Amino acid sequence: MAMRDDIGMLAGMVATVGSPDFPARFLSALETLCGARLFSAFSFQGAGAPRTLFAEGECRGAPDFARTASTAYSRRYWCRDSDVRRAAHSVSVVRTRAGDIADPDYRRTCYENGGIGERLSIQAAGRHPLVANGYRAASDGAFRPDDIARLEELAPLLMAALSRHIELSACRPGDETPAMVRQTLLSANAGLSTREAEVVAGFILGRTQGEIGAETGLTLSSVITYRRRAYCKLGVMDKQELLAAYRQLRLGTPTASR
């Protein structure tokens, strides 16, 4: 593809920064640049586990693979990833082949179960390092040298867009849907169940207990029970602390522990 076409495609992606369409457009950019089938993005805080920002794309025979693999990675396998955050430069591209991963559980869960053969990781250094991954199906063959070269050339722009998207998203909670809030909570590695995240998402968005019950089909006592469990797991005592903790999650910073 000519550079002019690349610029047009990237301009379309940049236009969606801060909107719910951005993850899909970011994946589209990676697919165009290097043939990636799936996309995941993570934010790291210190030496702790990463937070999953989003995961996009589909695998034949494993439609939910992007989400399940990213969740497993952020909860268990990130510390077994010898390539993560090793780049010396501010923005670098690192190639990982599934066959080179020594840990069989990590390789099977995050690669083989989805038919993934390789990963290209764009790593951006900083106070809270960001990693954006593009995955190529084994059936599509290996990444070509010109695929990698194009991604390396445009990696700073891609990561600047991703970083800005995170900042803008964190500044506009009113634009979020219940599903978006729930996904952010589930990606926080706090051990929330889907129901607990669903109930807490309602409180974050300003719903009353009665409204949450009507929207979820839960009784009032169940709403209270799920809220209490979620508060305990998130380490908060009241709604004010919940909102503060959620703002930290959206900014990619860890919540205070009790």
Res 255: pLDDT: 41
Res 118: pLDDT: 95
Burial (CB count <10 Å: 0-12, 13-18, 19+), residue 254: middle
Comparing CA positions, the residue from 234, 160, 167 lying closest to residue 197 is 234
Q: Where are the alpha helices (DSSP H) in 99-218?
A: 104-110, 145-171, 178-186, 194-204, 209-216
pLDDT tens digit string along 48-85?
Answer: 778 788 888 887 777 788 888 988 998 899 989 987 75
Task: Give pLDDT < 70 ranges for the chain.
Answer: 1-5, 46, 85-89, 169-175, 251-258
